[in-house]
Amino acid sequence: MSPRPGYVLEVDRSTPPTLFWHGEGYRLERLPQGSRVVYAPEPIEPLADPVAAVRHALDHPLGDSQPLRSLLRPGMRLTIAFDDVSLPLPPMRRPDNRQLVIEQVLDLAAEAGVDDVVLIAALALHRRMTEAELRHALGDRIYDAFAPHGLLRQHDAEDPSELVHLGTTDQGEDVELSRRAAESDLLVYVNINLVAMDGGHKSVATGLASYRSLRHHHNAHTMRHSRSFMDQHRSELHSSNWRMGRLIAASGVRVFQIETTLNNDAFPEQFRFLQRREWEWSARDRAAFVASSAALARTPARLARSVLHGIAGPHRMTSVQAGEVEAVHAVTTGHVHAQQLVEVDGQSDVLTMGLPYISPYNVNSIMNPILVACLGLGYFFNLYRGRPLVREGGVLIMSHPTRKAFHPGHHPSYIDFYEEILAETTDPAEIHKWEEAFATDPWYVHLYRTGHAYHGVHPFYMWYWCAHALDHLGAVVVVGGEPSTVRRLGFRPASTLADALEIAADVVGPSPSVTHLHAPPLMIADVR
Amino acid sequence: MKALVFERAVARFAAARVAATLRGSGHGAAAGPLRMVDADQPDLPGPAWGRVRPLLAGICGSDLATVDGASSRYFEEMVSFPFVPGHEVVGTLEQPPDGSPLAAGSRVVIEPVIGCVPRGVEPPCPACAAGDTGACQHLAVGHLSPGLQIGYCADTGGGWSAAGLVAHASQLHAVPDGLSDEDAVMVEPTACAVHGALAAEVADGACVAVLGAGTLGLATVAALRRLSDPGQLLVGARYPHQRSLALELGADRAVEPDQLDRSVRRATRSLRLAGQVTAGADVVVDCVGSSASLAASLAMVRPRGRVVLVGMPGRLHVDLAPLWHRQVTLAGTYAYGLEAGGRRTFDLAFDVVAAAGLGRLVSARYPLERYAEALAHAGAAGRRGAVKIVFEPGQRPPRQVPPDERAPRTVASGAPRPAGGRSGAGGTRRSGTRKGRTP
């Protein structure tokens, strides 16, 4: 039986309560009658033989690229860059797509007699991955072959000797890249295209770049003009990356792009109810919901976090394509859309969503308040094509505990950003004046380079990610969050969904239309 | 006439300490040696002394420590019992000293330190001869009973009295007409802050951190901003209204106390090592005076920097290894006197109070009869959204006040109010952030 497409349910008297994620837990909420609930398409069939599919993609590249084996020769410098720990969510069961692809790239390189091979985790300004995370992404065989010899590296955007300035685009954007990647005879980039924002020229132009480059598109102006950044044709974020990518190619950097997609089979069997439609829950699903939600509610947040971050998603590869960047990404985007697009007819006054325990920037870490804002207003709000799910001036209601809790090792500059910057303003454009001080702070630089800290400027980027939503919305309400923390973010706290809807009614008028985004699993609302 | 008197009673000292421990600062009043009496006016010690009838008299951190039985025993020989507390005083000069240019009926502020001149010590000590009365060491000699200040001396009376007090001509400062009573009662604590701010020796453009934002901390912020030119003035303040006031008074940034070292680190672009900010603030002004605040100050000052103790400490337990290793100067500052440049600290304090409008820090006024409530309010000033609590000794409480209307008189309408003030707001105590004290 083929998987069912996405679905928009209209809530009526017979509709069971709707599942809302709530950080390290979840709740059942009753939405007003007439509300719409947008469900993601069911997981599409994965590739039956991903190894063969990878081999086929490498031998039959897209665009004007030659097959990978013909690009490999003895004595050449080969660099293989790959997406970091921020993808996919949740982390996938072994073997990870990156392992499946890179093992075959390395086999071809060995067959061709290439012995100068370096692997680079394309971190951009993200935190360095731990050994366990690298082993999970690449597999033990690759890790043990490369890491002990210093050939498995993590991009260091603060090492001047490891960066090279390739020039500026016609818009005056600096392009500064990993020297090893730029000066290799061939740069193979291996990605996991979880959402439509990922991949394309963004892989290299962002993943292997420095602050000097990133500041041109990671800013409030760009994000306000990316509507949405999940739609590359209407995204200034992508326009800038595409300009940079073309400059990289024109500079003589030869990129062989390998992109993979996943189905949205995000949760294992015992949590399968999380991606099922509530009226189709079996007795076993209901029992699993009751047992797990009660257990998580009684578990300290730290332990609950540990349990949930231990979940490995059963999602599997649905496509792999290789070759020239733009040709590859056009096909990849089609595969993402095939899995994630849901047609939705028109906008509503209120958009509700439950935010889960994980975002791209807190894998094995704490979802701090800034990441809560980014996940809701950055990622989930932007999961649309055409128009946002909520009308201009409408209200976004998010459910999340929103605790004032930070991982001091991963997010040190976030703490200062929260305490000092958000105490003064929550305007994404206004915070820019503090950006450079954070970006060049020597302590943050030290922690980024030697520890597992996100770069000092990263919280600014998270807040810029919210810029489009903050411009668009009349108010943001957080259900069940710490009131003082929610207010620090510039949002309004509510104890219950009913209270939140009352607050929303004050903004948009009585009896508002409501749409609930039932994510994860991830989807893209194609709003007509 | 009613007056509050503090007597030597060892058992009641202990009771006060227990009450304050169990119920919080200020609650020692209910069980301790402080009691209300009918008092006569104190005798004039000599012709150079005058009589002052208090209009407002502040409750200081050192007063609370005394009432709660928590003062350092260091001061035991510098007080004489029984004494009437109250050294932050604005009053009416009822009987001017002989030869005084001040007219009867004029408003005056008391400079309470009882140095050589009021004590009739001849010749005065070198400090008093130079006008630096805060450094006088003749606090227990001369023709007066021991007492480092009015408010701790059995012979002078103090501000918490409707009967009035006596002060030497050298201790009287005329209050300009443009200054309200609330402003004037802030002159004495501001003088302590001014003295501390100048002892900080802030170079132009320096990074200065102030830890604590009670009366003394806020007055220090005002003084630092007006008497020096710091490049960054950062304040650690526990309560939201304190942070708002710190910003109004000239702080560049006001954060919670446990975030102050982070702000200092960011402002100085320091690294961290062994729990210390490697570069750090040029000057840290500790307006709390606890072990935690001193340790925090040492952790955020730069090598060869300066930590200034403005808040009165007691017996502290602090690791001084960083002080030794980083060659930090620890400076104590007490009271006031003559500052570099030859101006009296009190004269500078008048200027700072007027320029900064520090009368806004007076949050509530109580009649003497409600002293227990007043002291409890002062002890919980921060979490109740208040800053400075004062007595209004001439004010009689209204009769038969219903319990639910028993609120203190607040500052006269039109006067600035502390932002975020919420009388009765709850909260919990944390070490390192208790109210600063100056004797």
pLDDT digits (tens, 9 = 90+) for A309-343: 999 999 999 999 999 999 999 999 999 999 999 99
Contact by Cβ (8 Å): A294, A342 = no
Cα–Cα separations (whole angstroms), residue B332 to A349, B310, B336: 62, 7, 12
Of A419, A423, A443, the CB nearest to B271: A443
Q: In chain B, which residue's Cα lies nearest the Cα of A484?
A: B240
Q: State how far the Cα of A432 lies from the Cα of A430, in Å rounded to an integer.
A: 5
Name every chain A residue with its beta carbon within 8 A of the beta carbon of B239. Answer: none
Question: Does position B339 have pLDDT exceeding 80, yes or no?
Answer: yes
CA–CA min distance B389, chain A (Å): 28
Binary contact (A443, B263; C-beta < 8 A): no
Residues of A in contact with B259 (CB under 8 A): 419-420
> How does residue B435 score in pLDDT terms, banded at 50, 70 and 90?
very low
Q: What pLDDT is recorded for position B360?
A: 98
Mean pLDDT is lowest, of A515-519, B23-27, B101-105, B254-258, for B23-27
**Which pLDDT score, from 0 to 100, does residue A43 have?**
96
Of B255, B270, B272, the CB nearest to A420: B255
| Mean pLDDT of the A256-277 span | 95
Task: Count CA atoms within 13 Å of residue B258 on its CB side.
Answer: 3
Q: CA gyration radius for chain A? A: 22
pLDDT band at B17 (very low <50, low <70, confident <90, very high): confident
Place of tokens 């980027």: A461
Statement: residue A94 has pLDDT above 80:
yes
Inspect the interface and report whether the beta carbons of A443 and B253 lie closer than 8 Å.
no
Determine the Cα–Cα distance for residues A417 and A429; give it in Å rounded to an integer. Answer: 15
Q: Encode pLDDT of B158-181 as tens digits.
A: 999 999 999 999 999 999 999 999
Residue with the bigger pLDDT between B77 and B300: it is B300
Does A500 have pLDDT greater than 60?
A: yes
C-alpha dihedral, A329 to A334 to A336 to A337, nearest 10°: 140
What percent of chain B has a predicted confidence (pLDDT) above 70? 90
Q: Is B109 helix (H, G, I), strand (E, B) or coil?
A: strand
Q: Does B256 touch chain A (CB under 8 A)?
A: yes
Contacts of B266 in chain A (CB under 8 A): 416, 420, 437, 441
Say how far apart CA B304 and CA A220 lie, in whole Å.
Answer: 42
**Do A421 and A502 form a contact (C-beta atoms < 8 A)?**
no
Using an 8 Å CB-CB cutoff, list chain B residues near A423. Answer: 255
CB < 8 Å to B256, chain A: 419
CB contact under 8 A, A419 and B271: no
Q: How far is B289 from chain A (nearest CA, A)?
A: 25
Q: What is the mean pLDDT of residues B49-60?
A: 98
Task: With CA atoms as reference, report the closest residue to B144 among B66, B48, B69, B216.
Answer: B48
**Per-residue tokens: B248:** 């109004």
| Confidence at A1, pLDDT banded by 50, 70, 90 | low
Asked whether B30 and B56 are in contact (CB, 8 A), the reply is: no
How far lies B303's CA from each of B321, B322, B329, in Å? Answer: 12, 9, 9
User: Does the pLDDT at position B271 exceed 60?
Assistant: yes
**Residue B142, φ and ψ in degrees, nearest 5:** 85, -165
Q: Measure Cα distances from A502 to A26, A347, A389, A455, A497 in Å.
A: 22, 19, 20, 39, 9
**A57: left (phi > 0), else alpha (psi -120 to 50), else beta?**
alpha
Query: Under 8 Å CB-to-CB from B258, ≥6 apart: which residues?
Result: B236
Does residue A249 surpass a pLDDT of 90?
A: yes
Length of chain B: 439
pLDDT per position as a tens digit, B374-412: 999 999 999 999 999 999 998 766 554 444 444 454 444
Q: Is the pLDDT of residue A261 over 60?
A: yes
- pLDDT score of B232 more than 90: yes
Does A23 have pLDDT greater than 60? Answer: yes
Average pLDDT, stretch B367-371? Answer: 96
In A113-272, at which residue ranges do the beta strands (DSSP E only) sit? Answer: 116-122, 152-154, 163-168, 174-178, 186-193, 255-262
pLDDT over 70 (residue B421): no
Q: Mean pLDDT over all residues of chain A? A: 97
Nearest CA in chain B to A440: B269
Q: CB within 8 A of B232, min separation 6: which ones? A: B206, B207, B208, B252, B253, B267
pLDDT at position B396: 65
What pLDDT is stored for residue A32 in this prediction?
Answer: 97
Residue of B253, B263, B265 lying closest to A443 (CB–CB): B265
Give the pLDDT of residue B398: 58
Query: Can you read off the two tokens belonging to residue A57?
Result: 């993609």
Confidence (pLDDT) at B403: 45
C-alpha distances out from residue A525 to A375, A522, B89, B146, Å: 16, 10, 70, 82
Per the structure block, which two tokens stand in for B398?
């209204």
Could you tell me the domains of chain B? 2-175 (3.90.180.10), 199-332 (3.40.50.720)
- Closest listed residue to residue A256, CA positions, set A175, A191, A168, A165: A191
Q: Is B268 on the interface with A (CB under 8 A)?
A: no
Distance between CA atoms of residues A152 and A253, nearest Å: 20
Q: What would the mean pLDDT of B203-208 be, rounded to a whole number?
A: 98
Give the burial class of A355: count Cβ atoms within 10 A of its Cβ; 0-12 exposed, 13-18 middle, 19 or more buried: buried
- Measured between beta carbons, the chain A residues lying within 8 angstroms of B272 are 443
Would you state the pLDDT for residue B408?
Answer: 52
A514: Cβ–Cβ under 8 A, 6 or more apart, which residues? A31, A32, A34, A35, A36, A348, A349, A350, A351, A352, A501
Q: CB–CB of B41/B157 below 8 Å?
A: yes
Alpha helices by DSSP H, listed for A27-88, are 50-59, 68-71
Catalogue all structural domains in chain A, each as residue range(s) with its CATH number.
7-43+341-527 (3.90.226.30), 52-262 (3.40.50.11440)
The count of CB pairs under 8 A between chains A and B is: 28
Confidence check: pLDDT of B331 > 90: yes
Please report, rounded to a whole number, the percentage of residues in chain A having pLDDT higher than 70. 100
Rounded to whole angstroms, how far apart are CA atoms B139 and B153?
10
Quote the pLDDT of residue B72. 85
Q: CB A420 to CB B272 under 8 A?
A: no
Nearest to B48 by CA among B106, B98, B94, B92: B98
Provide the 10 A C-beta neighbour count for residue B298.
24
CB-based contact A420 B271, cutoff 8 Å:
no
Decide if pLDDT at B418 tops 70. Answer: no
Which stretches of B47-125 are DSSP H helices? 61-67, 116-119
Residue A396: strand pairing partners: A351, A476
Interchain CB distance below 8 Å, B271 and A441: no
Q: What is the DSSP letter of A509?
A: -
Q: Write the burial class of residue B80 (CB in 10 Å: 0-12 exposed, 13-18 middle, 19+ buried).
A: middle
Interface of B with A in 270-299 (CB under 8 A): 270-272
The torsion angles phi and psi of A72, rounded to 5 degrees, stand at -100, 135
* pLDDT over 90 at B425, yes or no: no
Chain A interface includes B252 (CB < 8 A):
no
B413 confidence band (pLDDT: 50, 70, 90): very low
Is the overall model pTM greater than 0.90, yes or no? no
Residues of chain A with Cβ-Cβ distance to B262 below 8 Å are 415-416, 419-420
Long-range residue pairs from A278-282, CB within 8 A, at least 24 positions apart, any chain: A278/A15, A278/A16, A278/A17, A278/A18, A278/A19, A278/A28, A279/A15, A279/A16, A281/A16
Question: B278 to chain A: nearest residue by CA?
Answer: A443
Q: Taking CB atoms and an 8 Å limit, are A442 and B259 in contact across chains?
A: no
Task: Report whether pLDDT(A210) > 60.
Answer: yes
Sign of the C-alpha dihedral computed for residues B426, B428, B429 and B433 taken in this order: negative
Strand spans (E) along B124-223: 165-168, 172-174, 207-211
Residue of B256, B263, B271 with shortest CB distance to A446: B271
Please report residues of A whose CB lies closer than 8 A to that of B273. none
Say how far apart CA A274 and CA A398 lie, in whole Å.
17
The SS3 call for residue A15 is coil
Cβ-based contacts of A483 with chain B (< 8 Å): none
